[in-house]
Amino acid sequence: MTDNTAMPDEGDANPDQAPETPAGDTYEVGYGKPPKHTRFKKGQSGNPGGRPRRFRNLATMFEDALNEKVTMVENGRRRQISKREAIAKWLINRAALQGDDQSIQILLRLMGQMDTQKELGERPFVFIRRGGDALL
């Protein structure tokens, strides 16, 4: 007995067409409709690593740390101030109340820089020297 069903030749298959699907599935592959086997699985992202975080240099990290809030008790009341403000208050109190020479030098240098900034309207170029040739 011979079988009447014809087998297609290998050369007759069109590589651009999707392989035949079972009779109940009439999904058509085309623009905006990728084959089902190449789609993302449910619960799986297309970019599992995600977008890389931004690069943070040292100056940015210092700026963020100085802008963080801390709780301080002043005149019996609690208030939140930035770390930048807390450092300034600490430095001023240490220079004024304890008479610490190093704190006084730092404070006077900062005050001079602020005066120069106000007069010029821009940031001055600052040299900071240490040791025997240190100037105020």
Mean pLDDT by 10 residues, the chain (136 residues): 54 54 70 87 79 84 92 92 91 86 88 78 60 53
pTM above 0.85, yes or no: no
- What secondary structure does DSSP assign to the chain, as a single string? ----PPPPPGGG--TTSPPP--TT-----BTTB--GGGSPPTT--S-TT-SPPPP--HHHHHHHHHHSEEEEEETTEEEEEEHHHHHHHHHHHIIIII--HHHHHHHHHHHHHHHHHHHHSSPPP-----STT---
Which pLDDT does position 48 carry in this prediction? 77
Which pLDDT does position 136 carry in this prediction? 47
